[in-house]
Amino acid sequence: MDQLEDLLRFLVQGIVDDPDSIEITGTENGSRVDLELRVASEDMGKVIGRGGKTIGAIRKVMKAASVKANKRVNVEVVG
């Protein structure tokens, strides 16, 4: 789970203006990993992207990484 959190933080850092405000809470339940992502309110739009395109791309990269780690990851942006 730490590795998935680390990857999520890295990807989000590149997109937002305020990387210090990134907060990630992870819960692990068997092979399922839920990651809750919080960013500065001004950065919400950037993380989600036009029509959800950016968060969609983040989820796809996270999914590939979780498959590799034999996990199922779920990323939610929390406002």
Partner 1 sequence: MTQSLEFNAATVDEALQRACEKLGLSPEQVSYEVLDPGSAGFLGIGARDARISVTPVSAEENAGSGTNEIRSSEHYAEHSNSGAYSEDDTAQTRKQAASQDFLDEIEQYVTQTVQKMGIDARVDVYDAGEYIAVDVAVEETGLFIGQKGETIDALQYLLNVTMYKNREYLKRIVIDSEGYRQRRIEAIQGMAHRTARRVAREQRPIELPPMSPSERRIVHIFLKDNGRVTTASKGSGDDRRVTISPA
Q: Does 24 bind partner 1 (CB under 8 A)?
A: no
Which residues ranging from 26 to 45 are in contact with partner 1 (CB under 8 A)? 42, 44-45
Q: Which of 36, 49, 72, 74 is in the footprint of partner 1 by CB under 8 A?
A: 49
Confirm or reject binding of residue 6 to partner 1 (CB under 8 A).
yes
In angstroms, what is the minimal distance from the CB of 29 to partner 1?
20
Q: What are the backbone dihedrals phi and psi of residue 78, each rounded to the nearest 5 degrees, phi first?
A: -110, 125
Strand ranges across the sheet with 72-77: 23-29, 32-38, 72-77
Beta bridge partners of 72: 32
